Amino acid sequence: MKIISLIAALWGIVGITLLLGKAILGMQPHVNEALAEPFALLHWIILIGFCFFMLYFEGYKGFQKKYSPRTAARVRYLRDHPNILHYLLAPLFCMGYFFANRKTKLKAYILTIGIALLVMAMNKCPQPWRGIVDLGVMLGLSWGLVAFWVFCFQALTQKNFPHSPETPGS
């Protein structure tokens, strides 16, 4: 049973990695298109400022301090608590869409809806602004993905992992 639990945990990690990786790679053409245009000084100032903003608020504050430790704790929980439904839906379980406390589920669903609305709004945004925003988001997501991997490694290799999986009763 241990090997199945480990495979389920890895499925959770791989599923989240694929989701974030697809988002990161999907923005690359818009960034390339924007960077191919001539930038005015204002564009450069906003690009640099927004990239630092997204690295700090999305990458560091959002992912490294909150999302990644909790999600890695859920990967560890998945490994340590056998459940076939959790195994099959490991990426969704790890992201907190189900078998999570009310606050965690609410955050997962609200964040998903908010991101979907922002993506729809950005699809209407002209270049170079779309590329500027996408570059900032790409950097934040990339930081977040690396933070997620680091926390998952810690969660699966350390005896004690001090972060809560925010499951019912935890």
pLDDT tens readout for residues 18-70: 999 999 999 999 999 999 999 999 999 999 999 999 999 999 999 999 999 99
The pLDDT of residue 169: 79
Q: What is the pTM of this model?
A: 0.94
pLDDT single digits (tens) 90-140: 999 999 999 999 999 999 999 999 999 999 999 999 999 999 999 999 999
Spatial separation of the C-alpha atoms in residues 170 and 99, rounded to whole Å = 11
Whether omega before 165 lies within 30 degrees of 0, making that bond cis, reads no
* Structural domain total, the chain: 1
- Domain of 81 in residue numbering reads as 2-157
Token output for 95: 């992201």
Q: Would 83 be classed as within a structural domain? A: yes
Q: Would 162 be classed as within a structural domain? A: no
Q: Would 85 be classed as within a structural domain? A: yes
The pLDDT of residue 73: 98
Query: What SS3 state is found at 81?
Result: coil
98's torsion region: left (phi>0), alpha (psi -120 to 50) or beta? beta
Query: What SS3 state is found at 57?
Result: helix
- Within its chain, how far is the Cα of 142 from the centroid? 9
